[in-house]
Every structure is written in structure tokens, then in C-alpha cells.
């Protein structure tokens, strides 16, 4: 269980970091999505791994016998936020592509000069 989760977080993070560093918008968006997946798993593990445990205190259970309810709440918030962020990122990427005729993330020197002369 620990190995599975840890390696999942590691693989997602590695893929995310690699893709974020790519020059094109699409890979950057994918990379950020991978990073948010990694972070969601990581937050789950922050409350310690627990299998077959109730989420809240229940009668007849020892006080130690329940899963931490806070990390799932954090994960939920983080999923919602990252979903919204990805949507914004895609919109900006598409808009940037139409404005620039290129989906490269870098601003080249010529583009900067053109922009300055247009101001």
C-alpha cells in the first residue's frame, strides 16, 4: 500500500515536472494536471494511510480506530480549485494561440518588439 501510493506520487510528479518544462502550452497544461494529481494523492497520505476505517468517530470503536477526515476535505477543495485553474489555463492557452499564431510558452524578442511598437 505504502509503496504503491509513494510510487504513484513519484511517477505523477516526475511526469508533471517533465511536461511543465516542455516548450508548448498543451504539455504545460498536461504537466500541471499531473502535478495536481500527485498533490491530491500526497494530501491523502498526509492523514496517514488507513484501510477499512470509519471516517468519523463511531460507537464501539477505539479512539485510534478511525481515518482522519480532514485530508479528504482538503483533497476535495484542491480538486475543485485545480479543476478551475486548468480550465482557465486552457482558455488562456487557446486565446494565446489565436493571438500569437504559435503555442510556444516563451515570449521571443521579436514578439516583444512588435508588441511595443503596437502600444
Partner 1 sequence: MNHLLILPILLPAVIAPLLAMAVRNDIVLARVFSSAATFGLVIIGCMMVWTASDGQIRIYELGAWKAPYGIVLVLDRLSAIMVLLTACLATVVQLYSMAGWDTRGNHFYSLFHVLLMGVNGAFLTGDLFNLFVFFELLLIASYGLMVHGGGPTRFKAGLQYISINLVGSVIFLMGLGTIYSVTGTLNMAHFAERISQVPESDQALMAVGASLLLVVFSLKAALVPLHFWMPATYSNAPPPVAALFSIMSKVGVYAMIRFSDLSLLQQGGPFSALGTQLLVPCAVLTLIIGSIGVLAARSLSQQASFVGLASIGTILISFGMFTPESQAAGLYYMLHSTLAVATLFLLIDLVIVRRPGAGDGFDPQPFPQQGYLSALFFVGALFVIGLPPSSGFLGKLQILHSLRSTSEWPMLWGTILVASFVTLLGFAQTGSLVFWKSSAASKTDPHSPGENPHNELPVPDSSAKALPLAMPSVAIGVAWSLLILLMVFPGPVMSYLEATTEQLFDPQRYISAVLKPAGASEL
Q: Is 24 helix (H, G, I), strand (E, B) or coil?
A: strand
Do the Cβ atoms of 40 and 75 come closer than 8 Å?
yes
Closest to 28 (Cα-Cα) out of 77, 86, 81:
86
CB 45 within 8 Å of CB 70: no
* 22 near partner 1 (CB under 8 A): no
Residue from 4, 42, 59, 79 touching partner 1 (CB under 8 A): that is: 42
Residue 76 interacting with partner 1 (CB under 8 A)? no
* 114 contributes a contact to partner 1 by CB under 8 A: yes
Contacts of 51 (CB under 8 A, 6+ apart): 1
Q: Which is nearer to partner 1, 22 or 61 (CB)?
A: 22
Q: Is 67 in the site for partner 1 (CB under 8 A)?
A: no
Taking each continuous run of H as one helix and of E as one strand, the counts in the chain are: 4, 0
Residue 28 lies near partner 1 (rule: CB under 8 A): yes
Site residues for partner 1 per CB under 8 A = 20, 25, 28, 32, 35-36, 38-39, 42-43, 45-48, 70-71, 74, 77-78, 81-82, 84-85, 88-89, 92-93, 95-96, 99-100, 105-107, 111-112, 114-119
Amino acid at each position: 500500500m505504502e509503496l504503491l501510493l509513494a510510487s504513484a506520487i513519484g511517477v505523477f510528479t516526475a511526469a508533471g515536472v517533465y511536461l511543465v518544462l516542455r516548450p508548448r502550452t498543451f504539455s504545460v497544461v498536461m504537466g500541471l494536471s499531473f502535478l495536481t494529481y500527485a498533490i491530491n494523492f500526497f494530501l491523502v497520505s498526509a492523514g496517514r494511510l488507513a484501510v477499512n476505517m470509519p471516517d468519523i468517530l463511531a460507537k464501539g470503536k477505539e479512539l485510534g480506530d478511525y481515518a482522519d477526515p480532514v485530508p479528504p476535505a482538503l483533497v476535495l477543495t484542491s480538486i475543485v480549485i485545480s479543476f478551475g485553474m486548468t480550465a482557465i489555463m486552457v482558455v488562456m492557452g487557446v486565446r494565446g494561440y489565436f493571438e500569437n499564431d504559435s503555442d510556444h510558452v516563451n515570449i521571443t524578442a521579436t514578439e516583444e518588439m512588435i508588441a511595443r511598437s503596437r502600444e
